[in-house]
Amino acid sequence: MARMRLLWCTFLLLAALPAAVCAGVIVVDPAGGGNFDNIPEAVFRGSADDTVLVLPGFYEVETGISYPWPILLDADSPVLVSQGGAALTLIFGDGLMPAFDVRDDTFGARAFITGFKFQWLETPLDWGYPTSGTVHFTDNIVKGCETGLHVRLAGGLVARNVIEGPGVCGIQAGHFEGMIEDNEVHGFFDGIMGTGENTVLQRNHIHDNEISGVAGFDDCVAIDNLVENNGWFGFSISFDAHLTGNVIRGNGTGVDFWGGPHNGFLHGNDICDNADFAVHSYCGEHIPDPPDFDATMNWWGTTDPDEIAASIHDCHDSTWAGVCFVVEPWCTTPGCDVTPAEPSSWGAIKALYR
């Protein structure tokens, strides 16, 4: 009911005289027809109960004005949404500062940002180390920013964004406790960096990044992502990661596992056509009796046991690998839609590569 009231209120506001005011909705119009002509003042005047509705136009991130950028967000910040969507509403800068900033130790900060194009910024959102906080960053376009989005140590939703380099990192998500879904991230050194055990990556297209598609050095849950054509690794992640239903192809190495507990698994993934290894493991220390790692029911681009063996680097290849991958049964077609192949003598096959 509240949402219907907001939509009706917004309709009345836009249909009435330019100076009309409707409780809960603050209109920003660069031509002067709204409550404010700039975004920082509107956010400053608003509260958590308000929605700042930004009309189409160009909004420059600059200092030396009455209400300067970056806009500081806290627990009482309003929802920010564009009226015309990302194609018509541009927030741009000179690459030296973010558009929005959450300072260190800000308790319960809120960043609800939908429907903008961000260009030539340090980052659209620079998230410090708040004690808690929520991010909803949805339906935006980010282009040419050093960091496409910074959401570490927060929770919430990052969805349906197009985040394009060049830059250092597409999404900096260190220990982000939320969903990162349906985004396109490409053209950075690393696509998504710094995930954690409560990070869920789902249906993202992460491609053509110079180093890694996903470089966690921790763990995550990754489901139904397309991770392709990244220079070094599709995933560079810890042994605790749970990867299911992903297409991991055309990268330098498909999945590169690093040290940590060995509680993760690979199931139902298409891991094929990667230049070096499909899967590579390196624990960083000698383990006399390395444990098994569940990598069953994946499509490896072939049903030839010798080719599958050659594409996997584990305890049979190096005492520093840290795990022995268990890959049987494996899928016989992409998508794992067909009954898996009969088990072969995997130990004998891997022995050839000792």
Reported as a single tens digit per residue, the pLDDT across 125-160 is 999 877 789 999 999 999 999 999 999 888 999 999
Contact 271, 279 (CB under 8 A): yes
Contact 165, 153 (CB under 8 A): no
Phi, psi dihedral angles at 348 (to 5 degrees): -65, -40
Query: pTM of the predicted model, to two decimals?
Result: 0.88
Beta bridge mates, 164: 143, 186
Cα–Cα dist 163/206, whole Å: 10
Percent of the chain scored above 70 by pLDDT? 89
Q: Could you tell me the pLDDT band of residue 91, with boundaries at 50, 70 and 90?
A: very high
Mean pLDDT value across residues 331-354 = 56
Is the residue at 222 inside a domain?
Answer: yes
Query: How much is the pLDDT for 19?
Result: 36
Cα–Cα dist 280/325, whole Å: 10
Q: Could you tell me the pLDDT band of residue 326, with boundaries at 50, 70 and 90?
A: very high
Is the residue at 276 inside a domain?
Answer: no
Is residue 340's pLDDT more than 60? no
- Of 261, 329, 277, the residue nearest 299 (C-alpha): 329
Reported as a single tens digit per residue, the pLDDT across 182-193 is 999 999 999 999
Contacts of residue 315, Cβ cutoff 8 Å, sequence gap at least 6: 281, 287, 290, 321, 322, 323, 324
Query: How much is the pLDDT for 128?
Result: 82
Query: How much is the pLDDT for 213?
Result: 98
Query: How much is the pLDDT for 338?
Result: 54
Q: Could you tell me the pLDDT band of residue 288, with boundaries at 50, 70 and 90?
A: confident
Which is more confidently placed, 206 or 345?
Answer: 206
Reported as a single tens digit per residue, the pLDDT across 195-209 is 888 899 999 999 999
Cα–Cα dist 149/169, whole Å: 8
- Cβ density class 233-261: b for 16+ within 10 Å, e for less: bbbbbbbbbbbbbbbbbbbbbbbbbbebe
Is the residue at 134 inside a domain?
Answer: yes
Domain carrying residue 246: 2-257
Is the residue at 214 inside a domain?
Answer: yes
Contact 316, 348 (CB under 8 A): no
Which is more confidently placed, 329 or 197?
Answer: 329
Mean pLDDT value across residues 293-319 = 95
Contact 70, 98 (CB under 8 A): yes
Which is more confidently placed, 209 or 103?
Answer: 209
Percent of the chain scored above 90 by pLDDT? 74
Q: Could you tell me the pLDDT band of residue 283, with boundaries at 50, 70 and 90?
A: confident
Is residue 12's pLDDT more than 50? no
Q: State the virtual CA torsion across 5, 6, 10, 11 in degrees, nearest 10.
A: -40
Query: How much is the pLDDT for 342?
Result: 52
Mean pLDDT value across residues 242-267 = 93
In Å, what is the CA distance from 339 to each residue of 244, 267, 297, 312? 17, 14, 10, 22
DSSP H or E run through 5 = helix 2-15
Is residue 175's pLDDT more than 90? no
Is the residue at 267 inside a domain?
Answer: no
Domain count within the chain: 1
Average pLDDT across the chain, whole number: 88
Reported as a single tens digit per residue, the pLDDT across 255-265 is 999 887 788 99
Is the residue at 341 inside a domain?
Answer: no
Is the residue at 139 inside a domain?
Answer: yes
Cα–Cα dist 180/151, whole Å: 11
Reported as a single tens digit per residue, the pLDDT across 116-126 is 999 999 999 99
Is the residue at 348 inside a domain?
Answer: no
Cα–Cα dist 295/343, whole Å: 14
Place of tokens 């879904």: 181
Mean pLDDT value across residues 212-237 = 94
Cα–Cα dist 278/269, whole Å: 11
CATH number at residue 141: 2.160.20.10
- Of 80, 93, 75, 88, the residue nearest 39 (C-alpha): 80
Cα–Cα dist 282/149, whole Å: 30
